[in-house]
């Protein structure tokens, strides 16, 4: 396959927007079954080998960039206060009417903030965080309403996040539509049905859940035994508190929890190429009893999700980070650190090839999510069509 042309983002000249062009394949690496599953989960592509052009190999060896922080976004203040109480070496600043507290949590550099309710508040907060700090990975935490039979207090870890209120309004309510996230004249159109959480971060959160007694029932509700679910979370600008609305959202989205912030934050994270995960603790069932259950269990549920975040910080901090060349919205590239999600060991022959191209004697090629997307689906980050 070596020598066969493939579309690639040409990034040898580190000025301006990357250009999608065609270049010959330089080297190809067969993927193990486990590696194939990782690539498919992160990129949506089923491939058996990674084929790299010469400039892609060179750009995997980016020099040191800015050290990244773990971004922690809380929907409300209850969970944020618990997390901030455990920070060390804290400094605070205000940007766009948001307060950002930087410090160390379990020895990991973090920045913590609160969105307030609703999609616009959430999106503004996330974009302000990403533009003001170098965020390598993101976790959003808070409470949510349940759309399934999960008891109050259950923890939902996102695998996908969806808007439930984007689409066409008709007699039967909103018919969901995919969301355009990039569009002309500056970008080719990209529409998404949902936003995927980073599977490696999902696994880290699942492990962190073991740090709390998950089965502790809500106060005064001994018959409800909370559970853990890795599933979809739906987002809209409404506090859902009716049986019909609850059932309709669950049916049309396939999600098990509903909130007012997660999809907006995931949307912004996607555009900034920041891997994310969301953990929500159910404070109510999004039904007619929600107006009573939410105020009764909000703080208790919020503390459970905050405890998970504090434990998660340890495992997130242990993830190997590497400098990555990032292109955001066709702007000039920046070099920031991102977690490694895939490593490929190189044989002697391939090590010599990499050394010849990049001048670095690497024994492994390490990929972040952004790099995998770039080499598997370069058109997703292109601002121009392939060369003729």
Q: Does residue 188 come out as left (phi exceeding 0), alpha (psi in the -120 to 50 range) or beta?
A: beta
Q: Are 144 and 158 in contact (CB under 8 A)?
A: no
Exposed, middle or buried by CB within 10 Å (0-12, 13-18, 19+), for 206? middle
| pLDDT value, residue 388 | 32
Is the pLDDT higher at 353 or at 31? 31
Closest CA to 326 of 258, 373, 280: 373
| pLDDT value, residue 328 | 66
Residues 136 and 269: their CA atoms lie apart, in Å, by 10
| pLDDT value, residue 383 | 46
Task: Encode pLDDT of 335-381 as tens digits.
Answer: 878 888 888 888 777 777 777 766 666 788 889 888 888 888 877 66
Q: Pull the structure tokens for residue 334.
A: 């920046």
| pLDDT value, residue 276 | 94
| pLDDT value, residue 7 | 81
Q: Pull the structure tokens for residue 120.
A: 């616009």
Q: Per DSSP, which regions of 121-189 are E strands? A: 135-146, 155-163, 167-170, 173-176, 179-182
| pLDDT value, residue 386 | 38
Residues 122 and 181: their CA atoms lie apart, in Å, by 16
Task: Encode pLDDT of 230-278 as tens digits.
Answer: 999 999 988 887 788 888 888 888 999 999 999 999 999 998 888 899 9
- Any residues with CB less than 8 A from the CB of 6 and at least 6 apart, and which? 22, 23, 24, 25, 51, 53
- Any residues with CB less than 8 A from the CB of 276 and at least 6 apart, and which? 137, 138, 139, 140, 197, 198, 201, 265, 266, 269
Looking only at the bridges linking them, the beta strands covering 135-146 and 69-74 are parallel
Q: Which whole number is the average pLDDT over 302-313?
A: 88
| pLDDT value, residue 277 | 95
Looking only at the bridges linking them, the beta strands covering 228-235 and 257-259 are parallel
Compute the half-sphere exposure of residue 176: CA atoms within 13 Å on the CB side of its CA.
20
Is the pLDDT higher at 260 or at 285? 260
200: phi then psi, degrees, rounded to nearest 5: -70, -35
DSSP 295-357: HHHHHHHHHHHHHHHHHHHHHHHHS-EEEEEE--TT---EEEEEE--EEEEPPHHHHHHHHHH
Q: What is the pTM of this model?
A: 0.78
Residues 339 and 321: their CA atoms lie apart, in Å, by 4
Question: Is the confidence at residue 56, as pLDDT, over 70?
Answer: yes
250 DSSP assignment:
H
Cβ neighbours, 10 Å, residue 310: 20
Question: Is the confidence at residue 63, as pLDDT, over 50?
Answer: yes
Task: Encode pLDDT of 92-115 as tens digits.
Answer: 999 999 999 999 988 889 999 999
Topology of the domain comprising 69-318: Rossmann fold (3.40.50)
Instruction: Give the model's confidence band at 332: pLDDT under 50 very low, under 70 low, under 90 confident, else very high.
Output: low
Tell me, rounded to whole angstroms, the distance of Cα 249 from its chain centroid: 23
Residues 74 and 142: their CA atoms lie apart, in Å, by 6
Q: Are 84 and 110 in contact (CB under 8 A)?
A: no
| pLDDT value, residue 112 | 96
Task: Encode pLDDT of 178-222 as tens digits.
Answer: 888 876 666 667 788 899 998 888 988 998 998 788 888 888 888
Question: Is the confidence at residue 302, as pLDDT, over 80?
Answer: yes
CA dihedral 209, 210, 214, 216 (to 10 degrees): -140
Question: Is the confidence at residue 87, as pLDDT, over 90?
Answer: yes
Residues 295 and 283: their CA atoms lie apart, in Å, by 8
| pLDDT value, residue 119 | 94
Q: Are 278 and 261 in contact (CB under 8 A)?
A: no
User: Domain map of the chain by residue range?
Assistant: 5-61+328-381, 69-318
Mean pLDDT of the chain: 83
Instruction: Give the model's confidence band at 331: pLDDT under 50 very low, under 70 low, under 90 confident, else very high.
Output: low
| pLDDT value, residue 102 | 94
């Amino acid at each position: 396959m070596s020598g066969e042309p493939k579309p690639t983002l040409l990034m040898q000249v580190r000025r301006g927007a990357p250009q999608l062009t065609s270049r010959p394949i330089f080297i190809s690496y067969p993927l193990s079954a486990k590696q194939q599953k990782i690539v498919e989960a992160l990129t949506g592509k089923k491939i058996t080998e990674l084929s790299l052009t010469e400039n892609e190999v060179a750009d995997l060896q980016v020099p040191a960039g800015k050290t990244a922080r773990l971004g922690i976004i809380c929907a409300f203040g209850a969970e944020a206060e618990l997390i901030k109480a455990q920070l060390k070496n804290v400094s605070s600043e205000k940007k766009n009417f948001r307060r950002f507290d930087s410090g160390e949590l379990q020895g990991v550099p973090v920045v913590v903030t609160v969105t307030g309710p609703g999609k616009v508040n959430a999106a503004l907060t996330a974009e302000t965080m990403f533009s003001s700090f170098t965020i390598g990975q993101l976790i959003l935490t808070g409470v949510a309403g349940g759309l399934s039979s999960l008891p109050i207090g259950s923890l939902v870890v996102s695998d996908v996040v969806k808007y439930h209120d984007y689409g066409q309004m008709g007699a039967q309510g909103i018919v969901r539509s995919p969301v355009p996230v990039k569009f002309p004249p500056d970008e080719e159109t990209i529409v998404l049905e949902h936003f995927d959480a980073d599977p490696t971060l999902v696994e880290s959160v699942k492990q962190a859940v073991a740090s709390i007694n998950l089965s502790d029932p809500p106060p005064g509700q001994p018959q409800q035994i909370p559970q853990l679910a890795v599933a979809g979370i739906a987002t809209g600008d409404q506090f859902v508190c009716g049986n019909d609305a609850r059932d309709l959202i669950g049916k049309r989205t396939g999600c098990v929890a509903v909130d007012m912030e997660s999809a907006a934050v995931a949307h912004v994270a996607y555009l900034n190429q920041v891997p994310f995960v969301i953990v929500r603790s159910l404070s109510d069932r999004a039904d007619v009893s929600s107006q009573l259950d939410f105020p009764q269990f909000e703080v208790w549920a919020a503390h459970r999700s905050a405890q998970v975040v504090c434990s998660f910080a340890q495992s997130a901090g242990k993830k190997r980070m590497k400098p990555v060349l990032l292109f955001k919205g066709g702007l000039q590239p920046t070099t920031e650190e991102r977690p490694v999600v895939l490593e490929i060991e190189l044989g002697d022959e391939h090590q010599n090839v990499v050394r010849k191209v990049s001048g670095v004697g690497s024994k492994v090629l390490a990929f972040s999510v952004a790099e995998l997307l770039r080499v598997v689906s370069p058109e997703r980050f292109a601002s121009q069509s392939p060369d003729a």
